[in-house]
Chains A and B, each alone.
Chain A
Amino acid sequence: MIRMVGTRLASSTLTIFILVTMVFFMVHLTPGGPAYSILGMKATAASVAELNQRLGLDQPIIEQYGIWWWHLLHGQLGYSYLLSRPVGELLWQYEINTLVFYTVSIVVSTLLSILIGLVQGVYFGRWPAKLIGGLQLAFYALPAFFVAAMLVLWFSVQLKILPASGITNLRLADPGVGSYAAHLVLPVTTITLLTVASLSRYFGEAVHEELGKDYVRTARAKGVGFPAILFGHVLRNALRPLVTILGLSFPYIFTGGVIVESVFNYPGLGWLMWRSALSQDYPILIAIVLLIGILTVVGNLLADLVNGLLDPRASYE
């Protein structure tokens, strides 16, 4: 296992290096630049040149690239051109919000998916499973922004029972945990509805497949009760593909969904990445890409390790 982890980390480092290098050059070669965002309407060639000089953006791109790595090796992610804050500080500030939002979303989605998938697997071919399958397809087809907008219209605008945006009630000087939780409900519901649609389908298929295997028939023949088979054996085995999918979605826990965070004005990393891309705030953008790369590798690795624990027969090679 140690060998597998070592090999995986080595190849992943190369992948991340290539990813960051590509993004660095791509964002620097696109027209515009942060100077235009900073100077606004009155940006002129002279003022842009002067500002670029101050920001170090007049240096050859290869030199800027080298400086970026040099800073990274010294533990610095750079300084946001537009927001005038260290990138590390900004990332941390937004990361906390994203972490809470997506951890709650993934936990809720996973539990619901297991529940629904179990029903779908057990009742495969019969009307409860068909109904669930129809709903899964319907929700899977819905775009995130549509679901988010509908939830806002119903629960915030019409019923006025849930807040539509932000992370706390701005009207209160000390909003407290209740306000924070309330502001999470609609974004979490959006992510949950969309995630459960796909996740529960995978899990339902896995449960159905496991139920048809020889060990289930053998257990039944030996008189083991169906609940014991389902929760004692099938659930554990069917979880493996789910874990792999969750591992792949691990980066989203940290980077967030641009669309959902934008609709709900939720200050997460996805939102920050979107704003940084628009204003070409390179240091933030590249730092987030680096983070995504690292988390993708970590997520995959964790999924493999958990799968190994769930099924000792799983090969690490």
Chain B
Amino acid sequence: MLGRAHRMKILAFFLAAALVWPIAARAADPHDCGTVIVPANADITSFSPLFANALANGQAAEVMYENLIWIDRHAQIDWSRSLVTAITASDDGTTYDVTLRPWHWSDGTLVTSADVLYGFKLIKELGTTYPGYGQGGMPDIIKSLTATDATHFRVVLTHPANPTWFIYEGLSQLTPLPSHDWSRYNIDQLWQLQTTPSFYKTIDGPLRLERFDIGRDAVYVPNPAFDGPKVKFSRFIFTFIEGDGVAVQQIEAGNIDVSGLPTEFYSGVQHIPGVRIEQIAPQASYDYLGLNLKNSKVAFFRDVRVRDAMADSQDQKKFIQVVLHGLGYEVHGPVTPANLAFEAPQLQRGDYPTGYDPAKARALLKAAGFTPGPDGIMQKDGQRLSFVVLTATGSTEGDEMIEFIQADLRAVGIEMKVHEVEFNQMLAIMNGPADGWEAADSGMFSNGYPSGEGLFATGAYLNNGGYSDKTMDQLINDSVNKPGLSALYAYEIYASAQQPVIFGASPAPVLLVSDRLHGVYDFYGPGGLLDPTKLYCTSDGGTES
């Protein structure tokens, strides 16, 4: 009798729970988006624009804090979305006079030049730990930053620069921060407050952080004092979902409105009721195979013919068709799919110094002194053309990509072995002793101007592989310091020929989207920026307008 009584209680519990949920989960007013739930690509660990070290943190911050400059999907400045209305650069590219749009913090005070200066002061205090350190020369390139008046400020650089480069890469990093609210805290206190919702009460973006459940959900509500277009939902939630497949299940179950679509799921999710597949603007990023030129065990990477042979072995068209289901972009040089407006005309015509040509790859290896060994792997002076690539664990999509690259390399006699490690361990190894790694599957993210000062210049902050070439240094120097685009174009062509890293095809961002939600294409900017004001819902789940 004891067992039966308890069994009945257990059954009652399950039954009640099953009955309660559908009632509780009833949808909100069909003409209002109600709550929009979007997955974050990683768990959010900061909401501060100062400490935004990763895409998820950057997005979590920038829906609350407006960017000074908004770069659109054509790599142009969208003045209507930017906090600046005009930027005037001196002829030598040293001085920049900037006009702020009349804009208000949520407490009604004006966003002023003093707020821009305050943000810059904090960046300088962070020094090398500022996540954007070095990009666009920040912050060391700025000699002085002065407020002319409440809505005008002047930036003077330490030396002349290409204005386009500095505006896109350097100036764009200046985010006004509420100095009248934040200045009572020192930098260490700001660090400790970076996940505290109540700290972010003075904002100038469309959303205000209402609640944060660490490791899980960041819940935002509209900022009623926002000076821009009003959002069309009552709550916005970033939710962190572990694993590619789980997010797909979540959107199938109706728990979220948007999900990433890993390539391995592509065939299986074509006809989910109430969910559509949507391709969004190309991202300002690409994948590459980083090579460690400092490691004498793989000294063959120092030979440009070997690097070119590796690039020529890669059938990017087939890779895109097979691995990315046709949804990707060929990348042969340092221009991301979102920065094509800055690509050299020669490259825009498809005239790349490198490209799929296995015969040419083998010829290059032969010219470099390599001959096929008994197992088909090229060798020279007894050393096999073999290396180990580090990859970050956890992505089936990444595994498929690396296997494809591996097969193409092997077809021309190059052996690539794979060693999976956690992402932060991979970074640590790449920053460790020179002989600690040979190659790494990595990626690059651009603000909009595809310059190489952080990537391929001698001693550059992201140049882990130690690539160094005088011509490259000169071209990069010219592209960031001299006005015009001719130096940038020359750099792009040279980098494509040099392959300081092996550039790889970039996946096109594809999402699963709930039929009720629209405006997703405009919501996701190419540089990872989000514009929540673009989201809207229809009651009939109709087509995009």
Interface residues of A (CB under 8 A from B): 30-34, 36-48, 50-51, 54, 79, 82-85, 90, 93, 108, 111-112, 114-115, 118, 152-153, 156-157, 160-166, 169-173, 175-176, 178-179, 181-185, 189, 231, 262-263, 265, 267, 271-272, 275, 278-280
Contacts and interface: CB of A to CB of B under 8 A. Distances in A.
B415 interface: no
B10 A111 contact: yes
Interface stretch (B94-102, B141-149, B233-241, B494-502): B233-241
Given A44-B128, A111-B10, A163-B255, A31 B17 contact: no
A183 B241 CA distance: 15
A90 B214 contact: yes
A178 B45 contact: no
Nearest to A51: B129
Contacts of A45: 431
Given A84-B192, A165-B246, A111 B7 contact: yes
B25 A275 contact: no
Contact of B191 (A48, A84, A182, A262): A84
Contact of A32 (B24, B219, B422): B422
Contact of B18 (A38, A93, A162, A165): A162
Top 3 A-B pairs, shortest CB-CB distance: A182-B21, A178-B20, A115-B3
A114 B431 contact: no
Contacts of A50: 127-129
B425 A41 contact: no
B461 A42 contact: yes
Contact of A161 (B21, B213, B461): B21
Contacts of A166: 216-217, 239, 255
Contact of A44 (B24, B422, B423, B461): B461
Given A41-B462, A169-B21, A272-B215, 11 more contacts: A37-B423, A39-B427, A44-B134, A83-B45, A83-B195, A157-B252, A160-B254, A165-B250, A189-B14, A267-B216, A275-B43
A264 to B, nearest CB: 9
Contact of B432 (A31, A46, A51): A31
Contacts of B14: 185, 189
Given A162-B21, A184-B17, A265-B216, A84 B242 contact: no
Contacts of B10: 108, 111-112
Nearest to A278: B422
Nearest to A39: B53
7 contacts: A38-B45, A42-B133, A83-B195, A152-B253, A160-B254, A175-B24, A189-B14
A179 B249 contact: no
Contacts of A272: 215
B132 to A, nearest CB: 7
A165 B122 CA distance: 39
Contact of A33 (B132, B219, B428): B428
A214 to B, nearest CB: 25
B6 A111 contact: yes
Given A50-B128, A170-B239, A31 B429 contact: yes
B17 A182 contact: yes
Nearest to B195: A84
Point out which of B22, B128, B254, B423 has the most chain A C-beta atoms below 10 A from its C-beta.
B128
A164 B250 CA distance: 7
A39 B195 contact: no
B35 interface: yes
B30 interface: no
B45 to A, nearest CB: 5
B185 interface: no
